[in-house]
């Protein structure tokens, strides 16, 4: 079992992701200067838009747990500054003291073409540099976008990111982030593109990242659409990227069809599963290949059935706490409770430790993820805590 402290932090994290937070004026001090602001490199996760004010990106709880900030004017949680201290209050009770995360120095830099680096990529959590190759998805054209997604909506609210990013500029930003030591892994993602252009873009990005960072074993992943020819995945493996994600979002195919109608029409559930298996053959098992899930949309037992089935195939699951945020078809729906998410993380982590850790022969069942970057997911926190308990027991025995 998790220690009581980590369980309490996991529950508070889950509740602040489910309900969001309010932020008092005093607590905005230093955001965008000393503390890292939101950049919206992908989605808007806030319940309420905030175009006129920089909002903190993440907060750290006393035990080290990192939590994505989701603004919600109806939240029971209020973050307030009292002197040097940021307090989270629920009603009249202080439930935690938190810190905003430090702003990285490369947020003030520009590329050689004069583009602000924050309009290319974002540092997620402590250490993961993330870029969307395209902040637009073809599925919005006919309204068949996934129900939880606001990819095309978000850049229209915030004039922050380039919709398309040149490979050379991505390389420069990654070079600055890795070179200054703030990033130690990365994620590339983006909307579905017409035709089969994604593989070509990813090849260009990875080549540029190799050149800029000097790395040949690339510590990152790409979340992508299954290419028509699955052998194209070998091109990415040859360029040194460690893992790939093919997001099912819901494991039950009926939920997949209902929540992601465009993905079903254009690609199909089975093609996602084929791509996951083909990628395991190329990259190996042990969690290098994974699926993201928008947890809370389908019943817990359906999702856990998926976590088990995927883990038995060497594939990791990343169940994110669903945000029914602005600009999505599901805006202001209700996700399940914080307790629901803690139970899911406990049960999913047990399955993944059992299957993936054994396959990997490595200490972590998701080699491409860490607690510092999983700001909207409890799983890695719970896995870390469980592994720590196991090590303590082993050492004690
Ligand atoms: S595939 Fe779905 S989640 Fe991904 S960008 Fe398109 S609509 Fe959004």
CB distance 320 to ligand 1 below 6 Å: no
The CATH number that domain 105-396 falls under is 3.20.20.70
For ligand 1, say whether the CB of 263 is within 6 Å of any of its atoms: yes
Q: For residue 143, how far is its CA from the centre of ligand 1 (angstroms)?
A: 11
> Which of 193, 199, 164 is closest to 267 using CA atoms?
193
Q: Which atom of ligand 1 is nearest to the CA of 225?
A: 1
Average pLDDT over residues 157-185: 95
At residue 4, the pLDDT reads 52
151 lines ligand 1 (CB under 6 A): yes
Q: Tell which atom from ligand 1 comes closest to the C-alpha of 260.
A: 2
Q: Can you tell me the distance from the alpha carbon of 320 to that of 17, in angstroms, rounded to the nearest whole number?
A: 10
- Could you tell me if the CB of 267 is within 6 A of ligand 1? no
Cα separation, 108 vs 165, whole angstroms: 18
139 lines ligand 1 (CB under 6 A): yes
Q: Is 177 in the pocket of ligand 1 (CB under 6 A)?
A: no
CA 82 to chain centre: 31
248 lines ligand 1 (CB under 6 A): no
Q: How confident is the model at residue 1 (pLDDT cuts 50, 70, 90)?
A: very low
Q: Give the per-residue pLDDT at 66.
A: 96
pLDDT in tens, 311-369: 999 999 999 999 999 999 999 899 999 999 999 999 999 999 888 876 555 666 677 77
Question: Is the pLDDT reported for residue 263 higher than 80?
Answer: yes
- Judge if the beta carbon of residue 294 lies within 6 A of ligand 1: no
Numbered ranges of CATH 3.20.20.70 in the chain: 105-396
- Please state the atom number of ligand 1 nearest to the C-alpha of residue 263: 1
Identify which of 141, 192, 226, 265 to mutate to test ligand 1's pocket (most ligand atoms within 8 A of the CB).
Answer: 192
| Cα 396 to middle of ligand 1, angstroms | 47
Nearest CA to 272 among 254, 296, 295, 290?
Answer: 290
- For the beta sheet containing 85-90, the strands, ordered from the edge strand earlier in sequence to the opposite edge, are 22-23, 77-82, 85-90, 93-100, 58-60, 66-68
- Structure confidence at residue 387 (pLDDT): 80
Q: Cβ-count burial of 99 within 10 angstroms (0-12 exposed, 13-18 middle, 19+ buried)?
A: middle
Range 370-388 average pLDDT: 86
Q: Whose CA is nearest to atom 2 of ligand 1?
A: 146
Q: For residue 102, how far is its CA from the centre of ligand 1 (angstroms)?
A: 30
pLDDT for 340 = 98
Q: Determine the pLDDT at residue 355.
A: 86
Q: Residue 92: is it exposed, middle or buried by C-beta count within 10 angstroms (0-12/13-18/19+)?
A: exposed
């Amino acid at each position: 079992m998790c220690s009581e402290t980590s369980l309490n932090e996991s529950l508070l994290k889950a509740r602040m992701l489910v309900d969001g937070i309010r932020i008092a004026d005093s607590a905005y001090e230093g955001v965008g200067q000393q503390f890292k602001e939101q950049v919206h490199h992908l989605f808007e996760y806030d319940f309420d838009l905030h175009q006129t004010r920089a909002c903190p990106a993440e907060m750290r709880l006393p035990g080290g747990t990192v939590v994505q900030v989701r603004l919600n004017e109806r939240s029971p949680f209020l973050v307030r500054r009292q002197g040097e201290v940021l307090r989270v209050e629920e009603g009249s009770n202080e439930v935690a003291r938190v810190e905003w995360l430090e702003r990285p120095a490369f947020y003030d830099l520009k590329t050689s073409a004069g583009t602000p680096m924050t309009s290319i990529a974002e540092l997620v959590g402590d250490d993961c540099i993330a870029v969307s190759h395209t902040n637009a998805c073809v599925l919005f054209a006919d309204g068949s976008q996934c129900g939880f997604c606001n990819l095309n909506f978000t850049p229209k609210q915030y004039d922050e990111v380039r919709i398309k990013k040149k490979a050379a500029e991505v390389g420069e930003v990654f070079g600055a982030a890795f070179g200054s030591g703030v990033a130690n892994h990365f994620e590339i993602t983006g909307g579905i593109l017409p035709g089969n252009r994604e593989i070509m873009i990813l090849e260009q990005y990875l080549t540029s990242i190799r050149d800029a960072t000097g790395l040949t074993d690339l510590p990152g992943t790409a979340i992508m659409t299954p290419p028509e020819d699955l052998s194209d995945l070998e091109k990415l493996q040859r360029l040194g990227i460690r893992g790939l994600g093919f997001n099912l979002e819901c494991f039950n195919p009926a939920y997949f069809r209902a929540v992601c109608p465009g993905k079903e029409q254009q690609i199909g559930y089975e093609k996602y599963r084929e791509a996951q298996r083909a990628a395991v053959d190329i990259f190996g098992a042990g969690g290098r290949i994974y699926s993201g899930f928008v947890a809370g949309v389908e019943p817990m037992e359906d999702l856990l059935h998926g976590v088990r089935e995927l883990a038995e195939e060497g594939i990791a699951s990343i169940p994110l706490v669903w945000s029914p945020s602005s600009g999505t078809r599901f805006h202001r729906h209700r996700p399940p409770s914080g307790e629901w998410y803690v139970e899911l993380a406990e049960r999913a982590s047990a399955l993944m430790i059992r299957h993936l850790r054994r396959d990997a022969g490595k200490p972590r069942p998701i080699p491409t993820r860490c607690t510092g970057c999983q700001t909207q997911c409890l799983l890695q926190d719970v896995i870390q805590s469980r592994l720590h308990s196991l090590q303590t027991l082993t050492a004690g025995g």
